[in-house]
Amino acid sequence: MTEPLLSIEGLTKAYPGVIANSDVSFSIGKGEIHALLGENGAGKSTLVKAVYGLLRPDSGQMLWRGQPYAPAAPTQARQAGVAMVFQHFSLFDALDVAENVALGMDRPPPIRKLAARIREVSTAYGLPLDPSRLVGELSAGERQRVEIVRCLLQDPHLLIMDEPTSVLTPQEVDILFRTLRQLRSEGRSILYISHKLEEIRALCETATVLRHGEVVARCDPREQTARALAEMMVGTALHRPERPAHKPGRVLLEVRDLNLRSPYAFGTSLKDVSLTVQAGEILGIGGVAGNGQDELLAGLSGELRSRADAVRVKGDPAGDKGPTARRALGLLCAPEERLGHAAAPDMNLTENALLTGAWREKLVRRGFIDAGRARAFAERIIRRFDVRTPGPHVAARALSGGNLQKFVIGREILQRPEVLVVNQPTWGVDASAAAAIRQALMDLAQNGAAVVVISQDLDEILEVADTFAALNGGRLSAARPVKGLTMEAIGLMLGGAEGDSDAAA
């Protein structure tokens, strides 16, 4: 490797109140898979947006094959040969695959020719796609294929991938890695952004670690342990949550043959879902996004009602009850979407605390809000769960994702639930906050509650759960003890119905 493909020198970008990137320098060689490591908010996304022309750095410069490079728009970046696969897919649900691909190209050929090209390229890289399907009907893995194929059709020299594996099954990750290695062997470079350390160790030959917007380390990840990489990222030694194994208790939550039709567009209906959770047990439910997680949460929380005996809490039929009645029984939930589902964005933290805590915490008396108690409850959540905010008068929208997540999980835990259901409890939360949330869930189970953790992060499930079940196409597998479960076995459980998931959709 002589001249680097892209070098970044002293790049700085500040937002009001935050320095996102401070004097960042590194370079990417030809045919290199370069990892960009860092926690949420470390400045990874800002950096790649500058490379892709979505924002302009305040100072510093970039060199592309030795020439000054300052793209003013993504079009210019694409012309230079930079392509990007976004973390939150930049896809249009109501358009078909070919149209989506065409929108990402500067001079797309006619749709019919493009469709043929899509078939050709996607098969050549082992990512088969049907160009005429609506993107809204595709699984997360297939959506990512659309993004990747869209990039590949432009014959890029540098492919930027922002957290590409967060929504994939282990098998899908393997396919992706095979594709990426094939791209490397063709002399293309890849800038790979992730905080999953094992992946980076398996795939990348160089890594740049960012913390608070600064480059804190450069290394060859193959020569480092995952723990060493994590500590570079976080800057301190990591505390791993722990607890003793659970002892069987009485069944607190029982679901029998729950069938629910999905009310959401592109949703997945639940089919004959059955599960039981005992006191002190944490049941982890894995699965790729869009396989019925939202529907399962809604069915358990009471947002979607069913037959009375389909859901039993402590033996009492609760399937026909709404969320408030189920809360009274001791079944509490924290949904995935923080803004708009778990919390009302424009209401302050006191009001948000009131929204679910009003009854169990007796924050309402004779129809009037007890302002003092409500504020005290919000303050208790903030203190106990280390929510970084000036106070309970702040609007939920103003909190960072991780802090709001701590707040909404804390709000439910402090109401002493007997059954707690959480969906994606640590999504988009940095490592130390995630550890705190997991510890809190474990403590809750330790004190005798039954906990259901729905998550797409398998590492998280393996860390906290006693039993594991997989959700696929709206069906839930039988639960198995986590102890002794291999990644292979989990992958098979997750993808076990891979073949008929299309028919079910």
Site string for another protein, 452-471 (x = CB under 8 A): --------------------
Whether 293 contacts 285, CB under 8 Å: yes
Shortest Å distance, C-beta 268 to another protein: 13
Is 140:64 a contact under the CB 8 Å cutoff? no
Residue written as token pair 């990489």: 229
Angle formed at CA 263 by CA 139 and CA 493, multiple of 5 degrees:
40
Nearest distance from C-beta of residue 92 to another protein, angstroms: 4
Residue with tokens 């149209």: 99
Name which of 92 and 359 has its Cβ closer to another protein.
92
Q: Among residues 290 and 495, whose Cβ is nearest to another protein?
A: 290
List 136, 241, 345, 401, residue binding another protein (CB under 8 A): 136
Binding of another protein at residue 49 (CB under 8 A)?
A: yes
Q: Applying CB under 8 A, which of residues 33, 82, 102, 209 lies at the interface with another protein?
A: 102
Instruction: Indicate which single residue of 94, 202, 328, 489 sits in contact with another protein (rule: CB under 8 A).
Output: 94
What one-letter code names the amino acid at 292?
G
CA–CA distance, 41 with 428 (Å, rounded to integer): 10
Shortest Cβ distance from residue 74 to another protein (Å)? 3
Shorter beta-carbon distance to another protein: residue 114 or 464: 114
Which helix (H) or strand (E) is 158 found in, with range? strand 158-162
Number of residues that bind another protein (CB under 8 A): 27
Segment near another protein (CB under 8 A); pick from 99-107, 224-232, 323-331, 480-488: 99-107
Whether 241 contacts 425, CB under 8 Å: no
> Which residues touch 199 (CB under 8 Å, ≥6 apart)?
165, 173, 177
Nearer to another protein, 70 or 103 (CB): 103
Pick out residues in 53-92 that bind another protein (CB under 8 A). Answer: 53-55, 73-75, 78, 86, 88-92
Q: How far is the CB of 162 from another protein (least distance, A)?
A: 11
User: Least distance in Å: CB of 136 to another protein?
Assistant: 7
Cβ pair 201, 222 in contact under 8 A: yes
Q: How far is the CB of 491 from another protein (least distance, A)?
A: 30
Distance CA 54, CA 49 (A): 5
Shortest distance in whole angstroms from residue 267 CB to another protein: 10
Number of helices (H), then strands (E), belonging to the chain: the values are: 17, 23
According to the binding rule CB under 8 A, does residue 359 interact with another protein?
no
Find the binder of another protein among 43, 57, 81, 104 (CB under 8 A).
104
Min dist. Cβ of residue 53 to another protein (A): 7
* Subset of residues 233 to 262 that bind another protein, contact rule: CB under 8 A: none
Q: What is the DSSP letter of 16?
A: T
Q: Which is nearer to another protein, 74 or 392 (CB)?
A: 74
Nearer to another protein, 53 or 221 (CB): 53
DSSP state of 223: G
CB of 316 to another protein, least distance (A): 32
Residue number, 338 or 375, with CB nearest to another protein: 338
Instruction: Extract the runs of DSSP E, i.e. beta strands, from 76-130.
Output: 82-85
The rounded distance, in Å, linking the Cα atoms of 165 and 122 is 18
Is-contact 203 21, C-beta < 8 A?
no
Q: Site residues for another protein, window 10-29 (CB under 8 A)?
A: 15, 20
Least distance to another protein, CB of residue 329, Å: 31
Question: Tokens 């029984």 appear where?
Answer: 329
95 counts as binding another protein under rule CB under 8 A: yes
**Pairing between strand 270-278 and 251-260?**
antiparallel
Q: Determine how β-strand 311-313 pairs with β-strand 475-476.
A: unpaired
State which residue, 1 or 94, has the beta carbon closest to another protein.
94
For residue 111, how many other CB atoms are within 10 A of its CB?
A: 16
User: Which backbone phi and psi does 209 adopt, to 5 degrees?
Assistant: -105, 130
Compute the least distance from the CB of residue 285 to another protein, in Å.
26
Q: Tell the smallest beta-carbon distance from residue 106 to another protein (Å).
A: 9
130 near another protein, rule: CB under 8 A? no
270 contacts another protein (rule: CB under 8 A): no
Interface residue with another protein, options 41, 108, 164, 280 (CB under 8 A): 108
Residue whose CB is less far from another protein, 156 or 357: 156
Token pair recorded at residue 323 = 């969320």
Residue pair 191/39 in contact by the 8 Å Cβ criterion: no
- For the bound state, the minimum distance from the C-beta of residue 120 to another protein, rounded and expressed in Å, comes to 22
Separation between Cα atoms, residue 455 and residue 119, nearest integer Å: 33
Residue from 58, 93, 205, 303 in contact with another protein (CB under 8 A): 93
345 binds another protein (CB under 8 A): no
Residue 46 or 301: the one with the smaller Cβ distance to another protein is 46
Q: Are strands 189-194 and 206-211 parallel, antiparallel or unpaired?
A: unpaired
Nearest residue (CB) to another protein, 45 versus 403:
45
Cross-strand bridge partners of residue 62: 8, 69
Could you please report the per-residue DSSP string of 254-305?
Answer: EEEEEEE---STT---EEEEEEEEETT-EEEEE--TTSSHHHHHHHHHTSS-
Contact positions vs another protein (CB under 8 A): 15, 20, 46, 49, 53-55, 73-75, 78, 86, 88-95, 99, 102-104, 108, 136, 265
